[in-house]
Amino acid sequence: MASSIPTVAEYVVNRLADLGIDRVFGVPGDYSFPFDDAIEACDRLEWIVCANELNAAYAADGYARINGVSILSTTYGVGELSALNGVMGAKSQRLPVFHIVGAPSTQIQRQNLITHHTLGDGVYNNFRAASELACCVSAYLTPDNVIEEMERVIREALRLCQPVYITVPMDLGRMPIIGRPVKGLPISQIKRAQSDPAALEASIQFILEKIESSKNTIALPTQFIANFGVLELLKQFLNKSNIPYATTPMDKAVISEANPNYLGIYNGMSSSPTSLKATIESADLVLDIGGVVFEDFNTTFWTDSIASSRLLTLGDQFVRMGNTIFTGIVLSDVLAGLAQRISSGAKSNAVDSQIQLPLAGEPTDPTSSANFYPRLHKMLKAGDVLVVETGTCITHTTPMILPDGVGFQTQTLWGSIGWATPAAEGICMANKKGRTILVTGDGSHQLTANEIGVMGRYDIKPIIFVLNNNIYGVENVLSEIGPSYDNLAKWNYSQVPGAMGCDSWFCVRASTVAELDAAIEKANTFDGASYIEVMIPTSESQPLPMSVQNQIYKTNIPGKE
């Protein structure tokens, strides 16, 4: 910090850095200069200046998925509003992103001066409600409230696992704080919330009894377990109990898929293997650990059917089975109690489900989904994180059984295309264990491809596959006519990194299986970023037959015939 007494802005960024954050994603702006300068001056934080605020928000989302928490810095009005879609996505996916925003000084406000980034109406809080909506809690800082306010918002962000909105007028941001600064702990050492002891004991007892009296129990662990920082407790519980588990697409690979107890992906009528739907829906007891999102894309249009009398949810601050509900309890305590007290279960007889997809295709064959995905699967190894965009790539990658230690990140619920490219940047910066491999459709990539230049600037080394089918393929499939609005502007994708200054990147277009094999081999050994454009026939994306579309859109919407 610049002086012994930090300014409000310096205090904020340093207090957040205490949580174990080493970068800030954002775009600077004059109202934010107090924050921008404080970030620059903080030797624990690196400024990652993104191509725009939406990209920055997606990158902060990605970084928080691996690191547990992140910082996004934008300027008043024009900046914060551009970030909103991304921050809202982080809210829906339950990620604590601290969104810090500088505002016009209170001197400007008191004089009622018309100033830039406003509506010219002399109102300075027009955007507050919009930004607040994307967060679980907000703070309006002054020199004398900043210490307490930071403790409050950090606590709430971690308790609720959602974004926070923090703003300060420029003049106040540059003033020294009043009071005694707090030196915080890294998130791994913070107890995020506490349970009522009696409710906790009753809920654990209830769960143990249900498991004890069930002949076959199946667990559905969720991504939220990782977000809440209690993955190790989940692993202890499942390892000790030997309860078999599956996940929904949104929760894929939250724990290892290379385990005899792993059953597959529960996705309603598209479950993988197909028999898994019946296996889960006929189980005596299904343990929803963290709160499964029974959403259309996560259950193939609500074709899930688990009787509520057999579904035991270990939720965020509650446990529920039918009408029995325990409240005032937190997941970490419930899982810790279960891990400690569950009886050891017999080892499963199931065989290790690791399956390598057959490598289809002759060297001269044109590239296609049929020959691309098995090759993608083959290159994966422990430490890798696969980041997959919304689009046809998600349907192909969801059923893949991933090797031990391979992570999988997607934005199933919020589903904002363009997310994956900047999110891969944030994930790559947080992922110290291995490679970050992005798979994106071309249409999605066009929304946020300018972030490639930022990746080059900060010298990160992702492996990027852009699937060029020249169409919004998945939309075309879902449309009965295959409309022209799903066609794309033709880009020469493999030239994009070069144009954006990524001079040392390995960039190539693969049109045949031989070219794809050579590209993957090079990416596997190259000490640098790789960008591989894979040609996929547009003809793969044919509209689904009307009968199937009717099934998707009408028959399975609850309450409709």
Ligand X SMILES: Cc1ncc(C[n+]2csc(CCOP(=O)(O)OP(=O)(O)O)c2C)c(N)n1
Binding status of residue 469 toward ligand X by CB under 6 A = yes
Site for Mg ion in 431-460 (CB under 5 A): 441-443
What is the C-alpha separation between 527 and 546, in angstroms, rounded?
A: 48
Which residue's Cβ lies closest to ligand X?
441
Binding status of residue 141 toward ligand X by CB under 6 A = no
Question: Between residues 403 and 418, which has the closer beta carbon with respect to ligand X?
Answer: 418
Contact partner, 77, from ligand X, Mg ion, none, Cβ < 5-8 Å per class: none
Q: Are the C-beta atoms of residues 306 and 286 closer than 8 Å to each other?
A: yes
Binding status of residue 471 toward ligand X by CB under 6 A = yes
Phi and psi torsions of 75, nearest 5°: -95, 170
Q: Which of 233, 215, 221 is nearest to 257 (CA)?
A: 221
Binding status of residue 292 toward ligand X by CB under 6 A = no
Among 393, 430, 454, 520, binds ligand X (CB under 6 A): 393
What is the C-alpha separation between 171 and 104, in angstroms, rounded?
A: 8
Binding mask 108-137 for ligand X (x = CB under 6 A): ------------------------------
CB of 93 to ligand X, least distance (A): 14
Per the DSSP assignment, residues forming a β-bridge with 468 are 535
Axis crossing angle, helix 8-17 with helix 33-41, rounded to the nearest 10 = 50
Among 29, 79, 426, 441, binds ligand X (CB under 6 A): 441
What is the C-alpha separation between 6 and 150, in angstroms, rounded?
A: 14
Stretch that binds ligand X, among 9-17, 202-210, 274-282, 383-391 (CB under 6 A): 383-391
Site for ligand X in 222-281 (CB under 6 A): none
Site for Mg ion in 112-141 (CB under 5 A): none
Binding status of residue 57 toward ligand X by CB under 6 A = no
Binding status of residue 288 toward ligand X by CB under 6 A = no
Binding status of residue 291 toward ligand X by CB under 6 A = no
Stretch that binds ligand X, among 13-21, 44-52, 280-288, 384-392 (CB under 6 A): 384-392
Binding status of residue 39 toward ligand X by CB under 6 A = no
Question: Between residues 361 and 441, which has the closer beta carbon with respect to Mg ion?
Answer: 441
3-state secondary structure of 89: helix
Numbers of helices and strands, H then E, in the chain: 22, 19
Binding mask 471-510 for Mg ion (x = CB under 5 A): --x-------------------------------------
Question: Between residues 38 and 474, which has the closer beta carbon with respect to ligand X?
Answer: 474
What is the C-alpha separation between 384 and 367, in angstroms, rounded?
A: 24
Contact partner, 416, from ligand X, Mg ion, none, Cβ < 5-8 Å per class: ligand X
Q: Is the peptide bond before 273 cis (omega within 30 degrees of 0)?
A: yes
Question: Between residues 131 and 469, which has the closer beta carbon with respect to Mg ion?
Answer: 469
Binding status of residue 473 toward ligand X by CB under 6 A = yes
What is the C-alpha separation between 530 and 519, in angstroms, rounded?
A: 9
Query: Within its chain, how far is the Cα of 515 from the centroid?
Result: 32
CB of 489 to Mg ion, least distance (A): 12
Q: Are the C-beta atoms of residues 28 and 199 closer than 8 Å to each other?
A: no
Per the DSSP assignment, residues forming a β-bridge with 312 are 287, 321
Q: DSSP alpha helices (H): ranges in 458-512?
A: 473-477, 496-499
3-state secondary structure of 351: coil
What Rg, from alpha-carbon coordinates, does the chain have?
24
Question: Between residues 109 and 450, which has the closer beta carbon with respect to ligand X?
Answer: 450
What is the C-alpha separation between 328 and 316, in angstroms, rounded?
A: 10
Stretch that binds ligand X, among 233-241, 350-358, 389-397, 552-560 (CB under 6 A): 389-397
Binding status of residue 422 toward ligand X by CB under 6 A = no
In the structure encoding, which two tokens stand for residue 366, read together?
A: 């044109």
Give the neighbor-by-neighbor strand order of the sheet with 23-26.
46-49, 23-26, 70-75, 97-103, 164-169, 137-140
Binding status of residue 244 toward Mg ion by CB under 5 A = no
Contact partner, 300, from Mg ion, ligand X, none, Cβ < 5-8 Å per class: none
What is the total count of residues that contact ligand X (CB under 6 A)? 20
Binding status of residue 398 toward ligand X by CB under 6 A = no
Identity of the residue numbered 91: K
Binding status of residue 394 toward ligand X by CB under 6 A = no
In the structure encoding, which two tokens stand for residue 520, read together?
A: 């993957």
What is the C-alpha separation between 221 and 274, in angstroms, rounded?
A: 19
Binding status of residue 438 toward ligand X by CB under 6 A = no
User: Site residues (CB under 6 A) for ligand X?
Assistant: 389-393, 415-418, 441-444, 467, 469, 471-475
User: Site residues (CB under 5 A) for Mg ion?
Assistant: 441-443, 469, 473
